[in-house]
């Protein structure tokens, strides 16, 4: 954290986050188990995370929500049928809602493409 020279407000510095932070193969395995309803916001969050135009503050919270999703033990353990991924869905949708102004049509299209590829109708 640093002070901005002009108005003395605190400025948070964030390291650039790229796709290597969250392994897409591992994410896919979790999402296949979780189902399409969880996969949609997770893929939107993932695509926002790796998009270079997404602000660093958004990337940090998106990374936190995705990390929560891939953790095997959390508030409601994922192995519990029906309820296991409910807390993950809440975390993902809350973070996406918070940063919704940063979701571009391109991000939505990339997420939708992966969703349809991983979960054919």
Nearest by Cα to 92 from 56, 50, 41: 41
- The per-residue pLDDT for range 6-61, each reduced to its tens digit, is 555 554 444 444 445 678 888 899 899 888 999 999 999 999 999 999 999 999 99
Share of the chain above pLDDT 90, in %: 49
Q: Where are the beta strands (DSSP E) in 1-121?
A: 2-3, 10-11
CA dist 121 and 38 (Å) reads 16
- Per residue in 58-113, pLDDT (tens digit) is 999 999 999 888 876 766 666 666 667 888 888 899 999 999 999 999 999 999 99
């Amino acid at each position: 954290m640093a002070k901005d020279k002009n108005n003395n407000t605190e400025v948070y510095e964030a390291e650039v986050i790229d796709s290597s932070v969250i392994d897409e193969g591992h994410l896919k395995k979790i999402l296949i188990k979780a189902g399409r309803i969880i996969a949609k916001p997770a893929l939107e969050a993932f695509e926002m995370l790796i998009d270079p135009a997404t602000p660093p503050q958004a990337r940090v919270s998106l990374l936190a929500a995705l990390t929560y999703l891939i953790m095997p033990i959390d508030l409601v353990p994922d192995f519990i049928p029906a309820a296991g991924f409910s807390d993950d869905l809440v975390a993902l949708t809350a973070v996406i809602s918070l940063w919704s102004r940063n979701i571009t049509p391109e991000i939505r299209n990339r997420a939708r493409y992966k969703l349809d590829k991983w979960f054919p109708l």
